[in-house]
Chains A and B, each alone.
Chain A
Amino acid sequence: MSGISRRKLLKTITAGGSALALVRFSEARARAQGRGPEAMPSFTGPGANPYWTSVGPVATYPQKYPLVLLTDRPVQLETPRQYFQSPFTPNGAFYVRWHLDGIPKTVDLAEWRLEITGNVEEPTKLPLSAIVSKMPRISIAAVNQCSGNSRSRMQPRVAGGQWGNGAMGNALWTGVSLRELLDAAKVKPGSVQVQFQGMDRGKGPEGLGSNAFLKSLDLADPVLKECILAYEMNGEPLPMLNGFPLRLIVPGYFATYWVKALTTIRVLDKADENFWMKTGYRVPDTPRGNTTPEEVKAGSVKTVPITRMPVRSFIISPEEDAKIPMGMTVMLRGIAFSGYGGVTRVEVSDDDAKTWAPARLGEDYGPYSFRTWEFSWKPERAGGHVLAVRATDAKGNVQPDGPVWNPGGYLWNRIERQQIMVGAAQ
């Protein structure tokens, strides 16, 4: 018994013994009270997903914070709610959505070139260094939102990524003007669209959507003037999963056009008929993209490619598990945005969207950015409250309270609600 005294050993054993007793006691108590940490359910449906994000586990991917896992191959990750407390979403927290499983893992900048090709007089291939150091730098704050953000709210449910609200993010994107690059390459007369392709590849046969992800914009679309090719996201290189080294930024448009790991800009002399334009990412040509399963079945729905993001707003804090003691004032906080110009007004309701009061807007980072809002709320009675938030944009669009349904699960922008409990304070 050298080094350890008998008394100390005895003490240690006694402590171990009582720890063991504590384990038995805790087990017995947990059984008796039926307590345990409840995991999120493994799925939601056939009703709407009632949670803010999707219900998958939290997983860590290279260069990313722990995010909600939708799928692992190709990778789809959703941003948890708390990261929306700031107007700019951290790169590590930014959601991830790839379509094909051949996702870039290594980019060799000695080989990598941005190719401008197709119906142009002067096709070019540019190394990243030429883009970063030889062209004027432009920055824009813009929200990137998946077309299927909030798809899990739709009734009836539709197939696809079952996103909650976290398939969106706002970043300060820095890069070069798309228009300037196109002008330098001299677009030939008679050109119609410009097509974008990144490094991702799928296992499917050539010519099909399962082989390549291709997106196109009309050359006449005014959005082209605002597009940039970004090599920085919030002042840093893009994470590999968010499109390193270069990503197309289409301010105001849904993320389907924001091609990641961009390598090819192809000018077309006729409209793009590839799957991702002709079949995928299309919405009914109706108000809010609404239709019904019956109309779809009857084949009577005319569709158009999805474009701009309708106005939306969110309550970020407090979350459902907060309980407010009566008499306290609590700061409600959130974000709002629109693809149709900036948010001009955000209103809050504490009576399930019956009456509204204006919220105070945060700093304005430009028309395509998240705009934060806050509202100092002093509940006047104890009990459950249904908070709601709605935004109005510069075009006068007021966020509506009706649901959206279409077979792709796109364009959801219904007024958001939040249950909150006010308790007695004595």
Chain B
Amino acid sequence: MKQRMRQKPPAVFFVAAAAFTLGAATLLFAQSDTGDYSQRNLGSLAQPMVHAAEMGPKYSVGSYPLYWPELEPGEGRELVSGYCNACHSPRYIPMQPPLTHDQWAAEVTKMLKTFGIAIPDSDQTTIINYLAAHYSPETRKK
């Protein structure tokens, strides 16, 4: 039986095989996903320029890049940028997890008492309120 088929396959076999191949190919392409390039931009950061070394006993590197964060708009944003930026980048703020009003107040107190920045009382209140208004578990959007 097998041998006879190999010797002379019936025409219907070819038709069935062709149909099967076509079906399988269609099925394969339907289930596989190729060449899916999104149109949305994920964003990227530029590479710093290569820094050339000089002769002599001085060892230096290129400037350290800054990435100024987009702080949420609102009352107090300029005070926050201004005062906090004295010692560290405002990127320290969005890097934190959402913190409560009390936790932000404790952070500001640490900057005043422990680290010695001078901020007028009314500005302290504005700064704490700004941070809690945009970077607390209830309020943080991004």
Contact = CB atoms under 8 A, between A and B. Distances in A.
A27 B39 CA distance: 6
A59 interface: yes
A27, A45, A49, A58: which has the most chain B beta carbons within 10 Å? A45
B120 interface: no
Contacts of B3: none
Contacts, number: 142
Interface in A101-116: 101, 103, 105-110
Given A42-B142, A45-B137, A71-B88, A162 B95 contact: yes
Contacts of A36: 38-40
A73 B120 CA distance: 24
Nearest to B140: A43
Q: Which of B39, B89, B98 has the most CB of A within 10 A?
A: B39
A240 B61 contact: yes
Secondary structure type dominating chain B contacts: loop
A241 B86 CA distance: 21
Interface stretch (A84-92, A201-209, A327-335): A201-209
B129 to A, nearest CB: 17
A123 interface: no
Interface stretch (B10-18, B22-30, B45-53): B45-53
B47 A46 contact: no
A209 B115 contact: yes
B67 A72 contact: yes
B42 interface: yes
25 contacts: A30-B38, A37-B38, A43-B142, A45-B137, A46-B137, A57-B43, A60-B45, A60-B47, A62-B62, A62-B63, A71-B89, A71-B91, A72-B89, A73-B64, A101-B87, A101-B88, A103-B64, A109-B59, A110-B56, A157-B99, A204-B87, A204-B115, A209-B114, A241-B61, A275-B114
9 A-B pairs with the lowest CB-CB distances in the bound complex, closest first: A45-B97, A62-B61, A36-B40, A210-B115, A106-B60, A157-B97, A73-B89, A110-B57, A46-B137
Interface of A: 26-27, 30, 35-37, 39, 42-46, 49, 54, 56-63, 69-75, 101, 103, 105-110, 152, 157, 159-162, 202-205, 208-210, 240-241, 244-245, 275, 279
Interface of B: 36-40, 42-43, 45, 47-48, 51, 56-67, 86-89, 91-92, 94-99, 103, 106-107, 114-117, 137, 140, 142
